[in-house]
Each structure stands twice: as C-alpha cells, then as structure tokens.
Structure 1
Amino acid sequence: MARISRDYYLNNRSKVDIAKDYGISRFQVARHLEEARALGIVRIDVRFPEAAADLAPTRLAAALGVEQVRISPTGPDDRATREAMAQQAAAEIMVAAAPGAIIGVSWSRTLDLAARYVTHLPPCDIVQLAGALPVPGSGNSLELIQNLGRHNGVSTWPLWAPLVVENSQTAQGLRRQPEIADSLAKASSLDAAVVAVGAWMPGLSTVWNRVDNQVKLEAAQAGAVAECSGRLIDADGCPVSSELDERVLAVSLSQLQNTPKVVAVAQGAARADAVRAVLAAGFVTTLLIDEELAVALSGK
C-alpha cells in the first residue's frame, strides 16, 4: 500500500500504469489507496493560515450550528497551541462548574493541561468520562480527575479502569464492578461535559494505537471518521458499531446527547471532518478550536 501510494500521490502515476506494474486491476489500486488512507499510511493535510485573521467566531458558530465557538491562536509549535487551548478549556470548566453541578471531563493532552490551569471550583461533582489511557510524556484521566479534586468541596467520581480493554467479556466484567458502574451511571445526570475530538487516523486519536490493524480498518470501512472518548462516529453523526465499542469503558454518545452543555475541544486542520461528524451527532454546544482548524471549518 505504501509503494502504490507513493507512486500515485508523490510520483503522479496513473492508476492504470500502477496496475500494470503490480499485475493487478485499477480497481484494486483504488482499494489499496483507500485502505492506505484508512490505516494512516497516507495523510493529506491542506492548510490556509493566511485566512485566520478574517475569522469571526459568532458567524462560524452560526454556520456550524453550535451556540459558541472559541478560537485559540495557533502557535509556532504543537505545544504552544495546546497551552493556549488548555487555558481556554480551563476557563470553560470553571464557568460550567456552578455550585452543586455535576461536571464530566474526558481526557486528552489538552484537557490534562487544562486541569492545571483551573484555579478555583465551587463545591461540585467531577465525573471521569473515559477510562485511563496513558500516553508517553503526558498524564492520564485518573490524574486529571485527581488534579481537579484538589479544590475544597469537590467530589470526584473516578473511573478505575482502562479506556480500552482486550475484549468485550473483560469490559462487561469491569462494568459490573460497583465503583465503575457508579461512575458510568453518574454520566447520565451531567449538567455539563468537556470532551476532546479525535479523528480516526494515526496521530489524531489516542485510541488508534490501542487496537490492531483489523479493528482500525473495519471501523474505517464502517464509516468512522471521528472518535470521542473512545466512541466512534461517522460523517452523519451516527455511532459506528464495531468491536471497539464493546471494549471501551467511557461515557456513551447517548449520555452526551442528554447533557445540556457539552464543550468539545479539537486542534488542527486534519480534524476538520471529525469535528463536523461530532457536530452532526448533535451534542456539542460550545466548540473550542485553534485558528488552523477554524479556517478549515470555515471553508476559507
């Protein structure tokens, strides 16, 4: 797939010529190219940074069908961009956390940083929305919840389990554990939630590397373009039924759809299709993005 993709995308050779070289049909070439993109062997990224100055959050929110769009500056590197977005996310968490509220927080590297920027919280409940998924060089969802729980009067509902387990039987057993069952049930009565949006491709979803190639490909072929707390979503905003869904310990899409306020955090133009898919699912009220992604979503 890599060699065929190189010939097609980098060497500008036609599918007919490539088919002759490899002794296959041009339809097989097309299928290999499609699978190469689904598996992340090929990534296509188009950027229009010069259009960022013309962005209008209110107009973009109306076009996307959400109540609010918050746009953070795209920095000189990924870390700088994430720091700016983390501060915005922290502000959203503090605004949402009214006294006595039940706030759900998922995990991403940006949200992990955001927890450190939260300076105050009233007495409220903080619910962990996704099981632990350690990422090298970053924290995990358990640490994030513990960090938010340091504020006086805050009660935490940790999810003492991995985000993705080996099989559905293991997941079912863990869901029956009282502590895990209570936290998952608490997600049905959220007043607000903060989640991250990933694209179903390598480097754009922390879940991607936790499953084998067969699961990745089957999910992509089933239409998965977005990932939110381990839940896969297709371009129309519908949940994607897959083996992965049975192995994930996290908030469900239906629970998010029943939450009055949901802040979704996403970064980078490569996540544009994923964000559109999550918006189509109908649970996002506030979208927190960087300038690069805002440009991609605005169609400039």
Structure 2
Amino acid sequence: MTEIAALYYLQEVTQDELARRYNTSRSRVSRILKRAREMGVVEINVRSNVNLSWQFEREFQQRFGLNRLLAAVDQPTQDAQRSVVASLVAAYLDSVLRDGMTVAVGMGRNLAAIADAPGSPSPRNVTFASSIGGALRGGETINSDHIARHLAARFGGRSQTLYAPAVVATRELREALVENETVKETLDRARRSDIALIGLGDLSEDSNLIRMGLFTPQEITMARVAGTVGDVMGHDFIRIDGQRAGGIIEGRVIGLTLPELGPIPNVVAVASEPGKTAVILGALRTGVINTLATSVGNAAAIIALDEAAPMKPGAGPRQARVPPHGGHALDPSESGDR
C-alpha cells in the first residue's frame, strides 16, 4: 500500500501504469489508494492561501495558543466567504476524523455550510452529537440537530439528537431538563467528545439568536451596551477580554458551557463574517479554542485588535494542546503549511 501510494503521489505514476506493474486492475489500485488515505498512510493538505506567509500563521498560533489556523482567501460576498471557510473545515475534518470518534456539534450557518462543502470524504464510524438544543425558527441552516444529521450523512456514522429547546424560561426549568435521562445522555456524550465544532455569534440584527427568535433586537442592544461582544455556540455571552458576560440567558441554555468545552481535546471555532472580529478575539482569549477557521482578512484584523486592546497583565492564551489520536500541535520551528 505504501509503495503504491508513494509511486502515485510522489512520482506521479498513473493508476493505469500501477495496475500493469502490479498485475492487477485499475479499480483495485484506486481502492488501495483510497484505503491508504483512510488509514493515514497518505495525508492530503490543501493550503488555504499560498500567499499567506508561514511566519504569519506561526505568529497567530503562538499569540493565541492555537494548534491550527485555517485561514481562507477573502471573498467578495458573505455567502462566498462562508462557503470557502466551510470547505477548509470539511477538508480538515476529513483528515482528522477516525472511527470511534465523537464530534460535539454547535449551531449556526457557518457550521451548516460544512456539510455542503465540495468533496466526497471516505465514510467512517463517527458520532455527531448535538451540543445545544434547538428552536422552531432555527431550521436546517441553524439548528444543531439538523447540522449533526447532515454531517453524519457526509462523513458517515450517526447523529445523536438533543431533544430539548435551546433556551428555557427559568434556571429551575433548565436544571430539571438537563437531569432528564434523554437530555443528559446526549449532553454527556457531547462532553466526552474528541472534537467540538462551534460557531461564534456577533450582536448584529442578523445574529442567530435573533433569527431563532430567542431574543429581541432590543435585548441584544442592551447586551452590547453592557460590553458583550458576542456568544460562543449560542450559550455563553463573552466580553472582548474573554470573560463571560452573563446577562439575559445566563443559566437558561440547554447546551455545553465554556467550562465544559475546555476539556474537549480539539475545539474548532468557525467564523467567516468580517463583522465578527471582536467576538473571535474574545473567544480566543477564553482559552478553550484549539483550531480557528476564518478568513485571512479576519485573522489580520484580530491581531491588530489584540494589539489595540491588550489583555490585562498576567492574562494570556493557553498553551496549544495536543490533538487527539496521534495528532500534534504545530511546533514553533515547523513551517506553517501543515
């Protein structure tokens, strides 16, 4: 398998020629090459932007304690930007997902776009577990449950639904629901995930929280005035310093909290929109993010904003953590095109 893979990918020997050399069929050579990718003998990496310097990637990762930065080329429209960023995340997942893994799935249009990205990944046995409840007005493009189902259809495996609303009226009702056996089972599965896919929401009138009917524009405005820059996965409101801002939904969301995301080995935050610079910076400063997928323009703006609004002395990003199942963080001495 290794020999055939090396000849095909490194020496550009065609599949027809390999079939003749090894006295087999072209279809069998194709299956061997596919199996080589599945087993990790071959890893295919696509650089998001050949003009993005390795030094910039290393600086960004070291500055915020990340294992990986997925920065997509800037696009003229928001929909196009979301699609390109989603394609990077889809390719990244195809390279790191292994049989038996569990992926906790958040909500939002950036995550929903991953399942629709081009490509035909090899199927594998992965569980995609909803990590936040849903809302009637969310639909397939926002609700975690629908996204988990579509990801399972793309990558193989199964999805696990969180049968609960995203936000309830009181803390007492939330406490009762999270102890429900059905709800508890899914949340426990999400807490034990190998990877978490999370969205970051801003406080614009196009926010997912408003689109799902969870808050009014007036409530969002009040949160903004109080110093809130956005939300992490629709659950925790945060300030630009990465601290939780509390507010109108604190203690009422059925889903994973920031402290519960922390122990997950690889937390992948996806945010493509240019208006999300402040919430991305705040999320990076929480210390729970391992991998960030965004645009090149956003990445540059985040560094500029970090320098303009530094954290308090003594605070700083965490050290990059080792990804699960044999992966490794980017060493400062390594090039940034991994």
Tell me the alpha carbon deviations over residues 7-38 of structure 1, each in whole angstroms, 9 at most, x when there is no partner: xxxxxxxxxxxxxxxxxxxxxxxxxxxxxxxx
Name the residue aligned to 1:115.
Answer: 115
Alignment of 1:42-191 (within 5 A): 56-117=56-117, 119-133=121-135, 134-135=137-138, 138=141, 140-150=143-153, 154-191=157-194
* Partner residue, 2:279: 274
Sort the Cα spacing of 1:252 and 1:95 in 2 relative to 1 into closer, same or farther, 3 A.
farther
Kindly report which structure 2 residues correspond to 1:19-38, keeping only aligned pairs within 5 A, or say none. Answer: none
Moved over 6 A (4+): none
RMSD value, Cα: 2.7
Percent of matched pairs sharing the same residue? 22
Shift of 1:71: 0.8
Distance 1:152 1:282, change over 3 A: closer
Contact 2:110 2:272 in 1 (8 A): no
What does residue 268 of structure 2 align with? 263
- Aligned 8 A contact 2:195 2:264 in 1: yes
Shift of residue 150 of structure 1? 3.1
Q: How many angstroms apart in 2 are the aligned matches of 1:294 and 1:277?
A: 13
Q: Identify the range of structure 1 (246-255 vs 212-221) with the bigger mean alpha-carbon deviation.
A: 212-221
- Which residue of structure 2 lines up, in the alignment, with residue 289 of structure 1? 294
User: Structure 1 residues 235 and 155 mapped into 2: Cα distance closer, same or farther (>3 Å)?
Assistant: same
- Kindly indicate whether the alpha-carbon contact (under 8 Å) linking 2:82 and 2:273 is maintained by their aligned counterparts in 1: no
Instruction: Give the structure 2 partner of residue 39 of structure 1.
Output: none
Pair 1:189–1:165, CA change in 2 (3 A): same
Aligned to 1:14: none
State the alpha-carbon separation in 2 of the partners of residues 135 and 152 from structure 1: 23
Q: 1:218: how far off?
A: 4.8
Q: Find the counterpart in structure 1 of residue 251 from structure 2.
A: 246
The number of aligned residues is 248
Single out whichever of 226-235 and 92-101 deviates more from structure 2.
92-101
TM-score between the two structures when normalised by the length of structure 2: 0.65
Determine which of 200, 205, 217 is the counterpart of 1:202. 205
* Separation of aligned partners in 1, 2:61 and 2:134: 32
Query: 2:281 aligns to what SS in structure 1?
Result: helix
Aligned match for 2:230, one of 226, 231, 252: 226
- TM-score w.r.t. length of structure 1: 0.73
Which is richer in helix? 1
C-alpha distance after superposition, 1:163-204 (max 9, x if no partner):
22344344334323322111112222121111111223332x
Q: Which runs of 5+ in 1 are unaligned?
A: 1-51
Identify unmatched segments of 5+ residues in structure 2.
1-49, 306-338
